[in-house]
């Protein structure tokens, strides 16, 4: 094993939840405004999950004030505090680019039903 692999393994975060495209997530990220740092929450549907290792990223999409907003987050970045999974979606694809053209009810994703205990 070379030095680069060891350094990349040290950068990986522990405790990331299991989620996939179609799931609704809340991403809490640190934002610096002026000299102050605060936590900002971005909630939306995961449309893309790409890459691997320390460079793995997700793209989250939501509609704010009638305008579609997409943000890309590096999963293992120190700027991302935590990720919470809200709803699990049922989708057949790994890249949900078609959602950007849909509006309103057409952009809905079926929710995966929770299993009974």
So where are the chain's domains? Answer: 16-88
Q: If you average pLDDT over every residue of the chain, what do you get?
A: 91
**Side-chain-facing half-sphere of 69: CA atoms under 13 Å:** 10
What is the helix (H) or strand (E) element at residue 81, kind and residue range? Answer: strand 80-87
Residue with tokens 């609704």: 24
Strand partners of residue 72: 59
- 16-88 maps to which CATH number? 2.30.30.790
pLDDT at 82 over 80: yes
Report how far residue 47's alpha carbon sits from residue 33's, in angstroms, rounded to the nearest whole number. 28
25 pLDDT exceeds 90? yes
Given this model, what pLDDT does residue 11 score? 85
* Whole-number Å distance between alpha carbons of 88 and 68: 20
- What pLDDT, on the 0 to 100 scale, is given for residue 5? 85
Give the pLDDT of residue 76: 93
């Amino acid at each position: 094993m070379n030095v680069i692999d060891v350094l990349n393994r040290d950068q990986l975060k522990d405790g990331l939840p299991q989620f996939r495209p179609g799931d609704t997530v809340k991403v809490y990220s640190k934002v610096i405004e002026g000299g102050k740092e605060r936590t900002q929450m971005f909630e939306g549907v995961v449309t893309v999950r790409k890459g691997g290792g320390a460079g793995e990223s997700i793209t989250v999409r939501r509609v704010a004030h009638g305008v579609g907003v997409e943000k890309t987050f590096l999963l293992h970045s120190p700027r991302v505090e935590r990720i919470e999974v809200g709803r699990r979606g049922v989708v057949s694809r790994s890249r949900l680019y078609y959602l950007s053209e849909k509006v309103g009810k057409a952009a809905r994703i079926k929710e995966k039903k929770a299993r009974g205990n």
